Amino acid sequence: MKILDIDNQHTWHPYNSLPSKSTILPVKSTDKQTIFLEDGTELVDAMSSWWSAIHGYNHPTLIKALETQANIMPHVMFGGLTHEPATSLCEKIAKLTNLPSVFLADSGSVSVEVALKTAILYNKAKGKNVSKFIALENAYHGDTLGCMGVCDPQNSMHSLYGDYLPQNIFTSVENLGETIEKYKDEIAGVILEPIVQGAGGMKVHSPEYLKIARELCTKYDIPLIVDEIATGFGHTGLMWGCDHANITPDIMCMGKGLTGGMMSMAAMATSKNISDTISNSDIGVIMHGPTFMGNALACSVANASLDLLVNSNWKEKVNSIESIFSKEFESLKDLEIVADVRNIGAIGVVELKDASHAQTVQDFCVENGVWIRPFGKLVYSIVSYNITDIELHKITSTIKEAIKSL
Ligand SMILES: *Cc1c(COP(=O)(O)O)cnc(C)c1O
- Whether residues 228 and 273 share a domain: the answer is yes
Cβ(140) – ligand 1 distance below 6 Å:
yes
Both 141 and 30 in one domain: the answer is no
For residue 8, what pLDDT band results from cuts at 50, 70 and 90? very high
The domain of 200 spans 73-310
Q: Which residue's C-alpha comes closest to atom 15 of ligand 1?
A: 230
CA of 114 to the centre of ligand 1 (A): 13
pLDDT grade for 160, boundaries at 50, 70 and 90:
confident
Q: Does any domain span residue 54? A: yes
> Using an 8 Å Cβ cutoff, are 288 and 267 in contact?
no
Q: Is residue 344 part of a domain?
A: yes
- Residue 314 and residue 292: Cα distance in Å, rounded? 30
Q: At residue 328, does pLDDT exceed 90? A: yes
| Structural domain contains residue 337 | yes
Regarding whether 238 and 104 lie in a shared domain, the answer is yes
Query: How large is the average pLDDT for residues 232-250?
Result: 98
85-100 b/e (C-beta count within 10 Å ≥ 16 → b): bbebbbebbeebbebe
Spacing, Cα 266 to ligand 1 middle (Å):
9
* pLDDT at position 1: 63
Q: Is residue 168 part of a domain?
A: yes
279, 339: one domain: no
pLDDT value of position 79: 98
The verdict on 110 and 128 lying in the same domain is yes
Where is average pLDDT lowest: 76-85, 152-161, 324-333? 152-161
Say yes or no: 92 and 215 in one domain.
yes
Same domain, 78 and 208: yes
What is the rounded average pLDDT of the residues 73-97?
98
- The answer to whether residue 68 is domain-embedded is no
Please tell me if the CB atom of residue 187 comes closer than 6 angstroms to any atom of ligand 1: no
Residue 262 shares a structural domain with residue 344: no
Ligand 1 atom closest to residue 231's alpha carbon, by position in its atom list: 13
Q: Which CATH number fits the domain that encloses residue 332?
A: 3.90.1150.10
Residue 163 CA to ligand 1 center (angstroms) comes to 23
Summarised one tens digit per residue, pLDDT across range 362-388 is 999 999 999 999 999 999 999 999 999
Kindly state whether residues 321 and 304 are assigned to the same domain.
no
Of 106, 110, 141, best ligand 1 pocket probe by most atoms within 8 Å of the beta carbon: 141
Tell me the pLDDT band of 156, cut-offs 50, 70 and 90.
Answer: confident
Candidate from 15, 49, 140, 143 with most ligand 1 atoms within 8 A of CB, to mutate: 140
Cβ of 229 less than 6 Å from ligand 1: yes
Q: From the CA of 72, how far away is ligand 1's center (Å)?
A: 30
Task: Give per-residue pLDDT as tens, 165-214.
Answer: 999 999 999 999 999 999 999 999 999 999 999 999 999 999 999 999 99
Q: What is the pLDDT of residue 196?
A: 98
Last residue in a domain, options 269, 294, 310: 310
- Please identify, among 310, 329, 351, the residue that sits at the C-terminal boundary of a domain: 310
User: In this predicted structure, what is the pLDDT of residue 155?
Assistant: 79
The reply to whether 243 and 94 lie within a common domain is yes
| Ligand 1 within 6 A of CB of 199 | yes
327 falls within a domain? yes
Q: Does 87 lie in the same domain as 15?
A: no
**Does the residue 131 lie in any domain?**
yes
Pocket test for ligand 1, best of 144, 197, 229, 265 (most atoms within 8 A of CB): 229
Tell me how far the alpha carbon of residue 249 lies from the centroid of ligand 1, in angstroms: 18
User: Is the distance from the beta carbon of residue 230 to the nearest atom of ligand 1 less than 6 Å?
Assistant: yes
pLDDT at 163: 87
Ligand 1 atom showing the smallest separation from residue 266 Cα = 7
Query: Which residues are catalytically annotated?
Result: 15, 140, 227, 256
The separation between CA 289 and the C-alpha centre of its own chain, rounded to angstroms, equals 21
Pocket test for ligand 1, best of 256, 373, 375, 378 (most atoms within 8 A of CB): 256
State if residue 260 touches ligand 1 by the CB under 6 angstroms criterion: no
Task: Using the mean position of ligand 1's atoms as its centre, give its distance from the Cα of residue 380 in Å.
Answer: 17
Question: Residue 157's pLDDT is what?
Answer: 74
What is the number of domains present in the chain?
2
The percent of residues above 90 in pLDDT, for the chain, comes to 97
Q: For 38-42, 132-136, 157-161, 330-334, which range has the lowest pLDDT when averaged over its residues? A: 157-161
Strand partners, 203: 197
Query: What's residue 159's pLDDT?
Result: 77
pTM, two decimals, is 0.98
- Expressed in angstroms and rounded, the spacing between residue 111 Cα and the centre of ligand 1 is 9
Task: Provide the CATH number for the domain around residue 235.
Answer: 3.40.640.10
Reply yes or no on whether the pLDDT at 162 is more than 90. no
Determine the pLDDT at residue 158: 76
> 3-state secondary structure string, the chain?
CHHHHHHHHHCCCCCCCCCCCCCCCCEEEEEECEEEECCCCEEEECCHHHHCCCCCECCHHHHHHHHHHHHHCCCCCCCCCCCHHHHHHHHHHHHHHCCCEEEEECCHHHHHHHHHHHHHHHHHHCCCCCCEEEEECCCCCCCCHHHHCCCCCCCCCHHHHHHHCCCCEEECCCCHHHHHHHHCCCEEEEEECCCEECCCCCEECCCHHHHHHHHHHHHHCCCEEEECCCCCCCCCCCCCHHHHCCCCCCEEEECHHHHCCCCCCEEEEECHHHHHHHHCCCCCCCCCCCCCCCCHHHHHHHHHHHHHHHCCCHHHHHHHHHHHHHHHHHHHHHCCCEEEEEEECCEEEEEECCHHHHHHHHHHHHHCCEECCCECCEEEEECCCCCCHHHHHHHHHHHHHHHHCC
Calculate the average pLDDT of the chain: 97
Is the pLDDT at 86 greater than 80? The verdict is: yes
Of 261, 294, 310, which residue sits at a domain end? 310
Ligand 1 pocket residue status of 142, Cβ below 6 Å: yes
Q: Is residue 63 one of the residues assigned to a domain?
A: no
Residues 348 and 384 reside in one and the same domain = yes
Using pLDDT thresholds of 50, 70 and 90, give the confidence band for residue 341: very high
Report which ligand 1 atom has the smallest distance to the Cα of 193. 13
